[in-house]
């Protein structure tokens, strides 16, 4: 049952061949057995999960028949979940039990999907390897020496190892897509504003977006149907008609124009990644797609632009963690300033501090115009590049990450090298576009490779269609790591 | 050397919305600490602000009332600093592109009229309160006030004396309460004034270095603080010191200002546009709707009173010193329903600006707290207009009304204060008096005028002071002649 898709699980539940309690028990047992090795979860609470499963079973017993009613899911520990520890991977919030549910969490609760627990992540979603988590790194299920990617590393690893059939993630610069690629699963970042950010602990507000992570594009479509929707509590949430993201899955790809940005295919991409992406392009041509070369001339600016804007917003967003009302407060302190300094020095890890410092610097008097304003200007140019590119194609295709998963510890000494692992994903957040990653092969080291699709604004359904057709023709997404 | 004072004011007005500017929590004053602070106000992880449209509408009304430019697209920014009663570690305010820019307000100082220009007015959220007492070396935090909507109104440095500053503050106070965007309650902090004060030699073009006096919550303190500050600055300069730009606090107990921080210690607030809030767009429809909801403004009303009722500028000014005054005046005038509107208006104005104002002043009450309603006052004025009461009796009835003894007619009845104007009744009393005072009658007839006065006195006494004295005179003369 653990290898079943969401659709299959839903059918088993509908046919009463299993119950939500049974299903959750099986996953919980698997978590109990494997999480000590993988460290994909920060919090597991068997009783709570089973209580939620019982409610789902009772709802089904009363004749309710939601598409995912009773199917469990794991939530990234960035989502506030009422009554659960919500740590955001940080010592700062190691003791924080949320008194309320994030909008995304309420949506899953309303759909009757029990929570299997809270997944590990880079501290405050700042990282690309899950190594900045206060709760220790997550191991890549394909190779325990490798990182799972980040920041949604726990989510990606738990889906890859089938500790959960699905998980939520968040993506600020690639935090869903890059770990999905490195762990060989499918993950989608929607258009900015499609999923409410209410209750999702903010890293960089203008870039953060929640999305689904699962075994296939089809599963992601079903999950997005639950997650997406207007929420009046988030001013950046978009008021749009409810749509069925699975509606176009079965459309053939004849006539599809796939855009290949030349900037994606230059130096920097590892040969095995390049080979796998080329093979995927060949597969798409077989499926009836045409390819067109497009250009994103300002792509090379996306990493520096991102590392001005995201830290700027983060430096302000993280000011609320001051030890006054909740979270970590230093045990010993003198005056007020000392309390702030010690609480924050103790509560935040090195990467978070680095970004707070960068952000504070770029917003400071005398530097603001040169950094923040300039970065905003360039951000608009980057978005404009995509708008131009989409005049020539329907969906953009390229690699998700330049390499397969790297070894734990390999990039810790060099933040810039770490930042460059998001080079293909960051521009998508800057432009606010939807993007996804799906498995397209394995590297020389046997670690998974991800293919990135980028859609036009609100073209999630089209993007999912393009991914699904590929997954009908290939089986990369149904491979699972051995030995687990 | 002759010195000139230069003053600009920044006024924080709390807006009269039901809920906070970015959350649904109530802003009612006086609740138990932290009972009106929701997840958003506490800045829990993950919460987001949503702009209260009511705050925007009130800012629009203000902009329209002062003839300012409304920025059709205006922005919220984050002002970053750490303080325990600032839960997010930043205040959401407007920095570049405030909602209101420019505009002006006319003030009256003595006989002089003067225009004070406004720089801008912007929306922002209030902070919470730090409570340093009662916690034994610790600080208590009350976040009920956190997120309360404020409109910060900034003037140009156009005022030249404490008196002008007070006149401006009062005119502004009148306007914001008049148009209903602020309750004006200064004790509760709904209208707080910061004064930027500098001095310069008369004739000098450039401004002196200013010091900002923070958080003045009464017009009296505003005047005292500026007067002290001006004296202090002149002394400093005359003693050869330079004024350092600083923020100071006024201590009402000592009547002095004292330094809080200098410019060097000022924060770098690292303002940047708040990514959680979209730019605010004002459309024509909303602006037109707000324009339609604005009442007749104080200056327009004053002019109309002068024109329609021929009231003096002084009287009309007093009647429009607040919307409550104008409403009182108009309600009383309506009930009075005088044959001659101008006579009626003058009558009401005289009583409001005379007896009523002085009674209110003595009791330290506002017009809204008057124990005598406009209906009741009109009831009294009716009896004065129809000669039921002479001036002396009217004041007596007013005093009884003030003391809560009821409506004018009831008091007149109960106390028998009505003039006796029925000649039959008066004649009856005269007959009795003449019969009982034959001696005086004879003296009068013998040519002693004094005896007449004695008889009048006897009649008045017998009528217990109620007889109309003029009638008594006439009737007595007739009787004695007959």
Q: To probe the interface with A, which of B44, B45, B82 has the most A CB atoms within 10 Å?
A: B45
Task: Return the CATH class of domain A6-255.
Answer: alpha beta
Per domain, the residue ranges of chain B are 3-289, 296-415, 423-481
Q: How far is CA B34 from CA A324, B28, B89, B112, in A?
A: 14, 12, 18, 47
Please tell me which residue, A347 or B263, carries the higher pLDDT value: A347
How far is the CA of B461 from the CAs of A75, B430, B453, in angstroms? 97, 11, 12
User: Is the model's pLDDT at A394 over the cut of 90?
Assistant: yes
Region A366-384: mean pLDDT is: 97
b/e map A186-220, b = 16+ CB within 10 Å: bbbbbbbbbbbbbbbbbbbbbbbbbbbbbbbbbbb
Q: Which residues of B touch A322 (CB under 8 A)?
A: 82, 84, 89
Would you list the domain boundaries of chain A?
6-255
Annotated catalytic residue, options A10, A76, A90, A118: A76
**Residue A131: per-residue pLDDT:** 97
Look up A175 and say whether it is catalytic.
yes
* pLDDT(B350) > 90: yes
pLDDT of residue B478: 86
Give the phi and the psi of residue A324 in degrees, each rounded to 5. -85, -50
Q: Decide if B96 contacts B128 (C-beta within 8 A).
A: no
Mean pLDDT of A439-454: 98
**Domain covering B423-481 assigned CATH 1.10.10.410 in the classification:** yes
The mean per-residue pLDDT over the stretch A362-380 comes to 96
The β-bridge partners of B78 are B92, B272
Interface list for chain B against chain A, based on CB atoms closer than 8 Å:
39, 42-51, 78, 80, 82, 84, 87-90, 139, 141, 268, 270-272, 275-278
Residues A5, A20, A151, A343: which is the catalytic one? A151
Nearest CA in chain A to B45: A201
Place of tokens 């505009």: B103
What 8-state DSSP symbol labels residue A144? T
Question: Between β-strands B246-251 and B69-70, what pairing exists: parallel, antiparallel or unpaired?
Answer: unpaired
B445: pLDDT confidence band, cut at 50, 70 and 90? confident
Cross-chain Cβ contact A236/B276 below 8 Å:
yes
A195 — pLDDT class (breaks 50, 70, 90): very high
A93 contacts on B by Cβ (under 8 Å): 45
Element (H, E) at B455: helix B449-462
Contacts of B84 in chain A (CB under 8 A): 322, 324, 336
Strands (DSSP E) contained in B204-349 are 211-216, 246-251, 256-262, 272-273, 280-281
**Averaged over B82-107, what is the pLDDT?**
96
Residue B482 pLDDT: 67
Residues A6, A67: Cα–Cα separation, whole Å: 9
Q: Is A363 on the interface with B (CB under 8 A)?
A: yes
Q: Is the pLDDT of residue B6 over 90?
A: yes
Active-site residue flag, A76: yes
pLDDT digit string, tens, across residues B203-251:
999 999 999 999 999 999 999 999 999 999 999 999 999 999 999 999 9
Subunit contact A365:B268, Cβ cutoff 8 A: yes
The pLDDT assigned to B35 comes to 95
B39 contacts on A by Cβ (under 8 Å): 99-100
Per-residue pLDDT for B378 more than 70?
yes
Q: What is the ipTM of this complex?
A: 0.96
Per-residue pLDDT band at B341 (split at 50, 70, 90): confident
pLDDT of B460 reads: 81
Q: What is the pLDDT of residue B338?
A: 79
More confidently predicted of A295 and B384: A295
Q: How far does B277 lie from chain A, in Å, by closest CA?
A: 6
pLDDT digits over B40-81, tens only? 999 999 999 999 999 999 999 999 999 999 999 999 999 999
Which residues on B lie below 8 Å from A368 (Cβ)?
270, 272
Tell me the per-residue pLDDT of A136-180, one tens digit each, with 9 for 90 and over: 999 999 999 999 999 999 999 999 999 999 999 999 999 999 999
Average pLDDT across chain A, whole number: 97
Q: For A349-362, how does the pLDDT look when each residue is reduced to its tens digit (9 = 90+)?
A: 999 999 999 999 99
Contact A86 B270 (CB under 8 A): no
**CB-based contact A258:A294 (threshold 8 Å):** no
Least confident of A21-25, A208-212, B261-265: B261-265
Predicted confidence band at B454 (pLDDT cuts at 50, 70, 90)?
confident
Given an 8 Å threshold on Cβ–Cβ distance, is B42 in contact with A197?
Answer: no
**Cα dihedral sign, B55-B59-B64-B66:** positive
State yes or no: pLDDT of B28 exceeds 80. yes
Q: Do A235 and B51 touch (CB under 8 A)?
A: yes
B129-142 mean pLDDT: 87
Q: What share of chain B has pLDDT > 90, as a percent? A: 73
Tokens of A86: 């919500």
User: Using the beta-carbon criterion (under 8 Å), do B90 and A316 form an inter-chain contact?
Assistant: yes
Tell me the mean pLDDT in the region B3-32. 96
- Residue tagged active-site, from A20, A128, A175, A302: A175
Residue of B nearest to A204 (CA): B275
**How many other CB atoms are there within 10 angstroms of residue A230's CB atom?**
15
What the block records as the tokens of B90 is 């930043």
Calculate mean pLDDT across residues A235-250: 96
Tokens linked to B295? 């009442």
User: Residue A87: closest CA among chain B residues belongs to which residue?
Assistant: B45
Q: Alpha helices of B135-283 — where are they, by DSSP H? A: 162-178, 219-238
Distance from CA of B370 to the nearest CA of A (A): 44
Q: With contacts defined as CB-CB under 8 Å, which chain B residues touch A236?
A: 275-276, 278
CB contact under 8 A, A319 and B90: yes
pLDDT average, residue stretch A175-189: 98
Would you call A25 exposed, middle or buried from its count of C-beta atoms within 10 A (0-12, 13-18, 19+)?
Answer: middle
Nearest to A364 among B82, B268, B277 (CB): B268
**What is the per-residue pLDDT across B100-131, written as a single tens digit (0 to 9) for each?**
999 999 998 888 889 999 999 999 999 999 98
* pLDDT for residue B457: 87
In this prediction, residues B405-423 reach a mean pLDDT of: 84
Please list every residue in chain B whose beta carbon sits closer than 8 Å to the beta carbon of residue A199. Answer: 46-47
User: How close A310 comes to chain B (CA, Å)?
Assistant: 11
**Which residues in chain A touch residue B96, judged by CB atoms under 8 angstroms apart?**
none
Using only C-alpha atoms, chain A has a radius of gyration, in whole angstroms, of 21
- Could you confirm whether A151 is annotated as catalytic? yes
């Amino acid at each position: 049952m653990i290898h079943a898709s969401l659709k299959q699980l839903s059918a088993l539940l509908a046919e009463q061949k299993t119950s939500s309690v049974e299903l959750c028990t099986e996953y919980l047992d698997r978590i109990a057995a494997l999480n000590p090795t993988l460290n994909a979860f920060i919090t597991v609470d068997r009783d709570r999960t089973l209580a939620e499963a019982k409610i789902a079973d009772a709802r089904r017993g009363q004749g309710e028949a939601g598409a995912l009613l009773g199917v469990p899911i794991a939530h990234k520990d960035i989502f506030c979940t009422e009554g659960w520890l919500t740590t955001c991977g940080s010592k700062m919030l190691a003791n924080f039990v949320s008194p309320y549910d994030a909008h995304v969490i309420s949506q899953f609760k309303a759909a009757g999907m029990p929570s299997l627990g809270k997944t590990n992540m880079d501290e405050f979603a700042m990282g690309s390897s899950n190594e900045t988590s206060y709760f220790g790194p997550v191991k890549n299920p394909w190779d325990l020496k490798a990182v799972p990617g980040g920041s949604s590393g726990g989510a990606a690893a738990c889906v890859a190892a089938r500790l959960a059939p699905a998980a939520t993630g968040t993506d600020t610069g690639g935090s869903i897509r890059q770990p999905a690629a490195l762990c060989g699963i499918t993950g989608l970042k929607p258009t900015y504003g499609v999923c409410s950010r209410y209750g999702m602990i903010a890293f960089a507000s203008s870039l953060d977006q929640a999305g689904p992570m699962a075994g296939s594009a089809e599963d992601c479509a079903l999950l997005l149907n639950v997650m997406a929707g207007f929420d009046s509590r988030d001013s950046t949430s978009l008021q749009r008609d409810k749509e069925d993201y699975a509606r176009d899955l079965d459309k053939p790809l004849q006539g599809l124009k796939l855009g290949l940005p030349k900037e994606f295919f230059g130096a920097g991409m590892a040969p095995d990644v390049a080979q796998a992406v080329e093979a995927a392009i060949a597969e798409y041509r077989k499926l009836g797609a045409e390819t067109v070369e497009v250009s994103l001339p300002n792509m090379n600016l996306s990493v520096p632009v991102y590392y001005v804007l995201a830290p700027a917003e983060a430096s302000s967003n993280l000011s609320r963690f001051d030890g006054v009302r909740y979270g970590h407060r230093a045990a010993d302190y003198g005056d007020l300033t000392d309390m702030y300094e010690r609480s924050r020095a103790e509560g935040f890890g090195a990467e978070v501090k680095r970004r707070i410092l960068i952000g504070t610097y770029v917003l400071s008097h005398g530097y603001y115009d040169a950094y923040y304003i300039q970065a905003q200007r360039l951000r608009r140019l980057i978005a404009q590049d995509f708008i131009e590119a989409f005049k020539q194609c329907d969906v953009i295709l390229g690699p998700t990450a330049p390499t397969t998963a790297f070894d734990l510890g390999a990039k810790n000494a060099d933040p810039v090298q770490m930042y460059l692992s998001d080079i293909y994903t960051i521009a998508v957040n800057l432009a606010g576009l939807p993007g996804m990653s799906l498995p397209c092969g394995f590297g020389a080291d046997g670690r998974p490779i991800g293919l990135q699709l980028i859609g036009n604004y609100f073209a999630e359904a089209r993007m999912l269609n393009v991914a699904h057709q590929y997954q009908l023709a290939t089986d990369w997404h149904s491979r699972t790591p051995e030995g687990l | 050397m002759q010195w000139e004072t230069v003053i600009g004011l920044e006024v924080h007005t709390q807006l009269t919305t039901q809920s906070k500017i970015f959350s649904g929590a109530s802003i009612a004053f006086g609740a138990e600490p932290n009972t009106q602070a929701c997840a958003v106000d506490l800045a829990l992880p993950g919460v987001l602000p949503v702009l209260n449209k009511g705050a925007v509408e009130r800012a629009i009304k203000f902009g329209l009332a002062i003839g300012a430019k409304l920025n059709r697209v205006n922005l919220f920014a984050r002002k970053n600093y750490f303080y325990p009663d600032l839960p997010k570690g930043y205040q959401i305010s407007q920095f570049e592109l405030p909602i209101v820019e420019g505009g002006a307000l006319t003030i009256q100082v003595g006989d002089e009229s003067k225009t004070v220009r406004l720089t801008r007015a912007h929306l922002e959220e209030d902070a919470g309160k730090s409570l340093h007492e009662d916690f034994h070396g610790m600080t208590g935090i009350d976040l009920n006030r956190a997120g309360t909507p404020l409109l910060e109104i900034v003037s140009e440095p156009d005022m030249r004396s404490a008196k002008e500053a007070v006149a401006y503050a009062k005119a502004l106070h009148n306007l914001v309460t008049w148009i209903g965007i602020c309750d004006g309650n200064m004790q509760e902090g709904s209208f707080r004034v910061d004064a930027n004060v500098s001095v310069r030699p008369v004739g000098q073009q450039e401004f002196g270095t200013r010091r900002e006096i923070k958080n003045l919550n009464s017009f009296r303190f505003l005047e005292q603080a500026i007067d002290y500050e001006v004296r202090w600055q002149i002394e400093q300069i005359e003693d050869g010191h330079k004024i350092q730009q600083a923020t100071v606090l006024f201590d009402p107990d000592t009547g002095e200002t004292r330094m809080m921080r200098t410019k060097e210690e000022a924060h770098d607030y690292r303002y940047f546009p708040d990514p959680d809030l979209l730019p605010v767009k004002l459309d024509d429809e909303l602006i037109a709707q707000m324009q339609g909801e604005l009442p007749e403004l104080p200056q327009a009303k004053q002019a109309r009173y002068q024109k329609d009722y021929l009231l003096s500028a002084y009287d009309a000014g007093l009647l429009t010193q607040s919307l409550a005054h104008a409403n009182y005046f108009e309600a009383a005038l309506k009930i009075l329903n005088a044959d001659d509107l101008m006579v009626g208006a003058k009558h009401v104005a005289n009583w409001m600006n005379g007896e009523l104002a002085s009674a209110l002043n003595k009791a330290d009450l506002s017009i809204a707290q008057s124990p005598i309603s406009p209906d009741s006052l009109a009831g009294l004025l009716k009896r004065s207009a129809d000669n039921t009461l002479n001036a002396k009796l009217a004041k007596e009835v007013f005093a009884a009304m003030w003391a809560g003894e009821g409506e004018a007619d009831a008091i007149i009845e109960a106390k028998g204060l009505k003039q006796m104007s029925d000649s039959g009744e008066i004649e009856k009393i005269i007959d009795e008096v003449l019969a009982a005072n034959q001696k005086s009658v004879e003296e009068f007839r013998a040519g002693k005028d004094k005896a007449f006065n004695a008889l009048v006195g006897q009649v008045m006494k017998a009528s217990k002071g109620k007889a109309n004295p003029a009638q008594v005179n006439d009737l007595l003369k007739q009787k004695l002649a007959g």
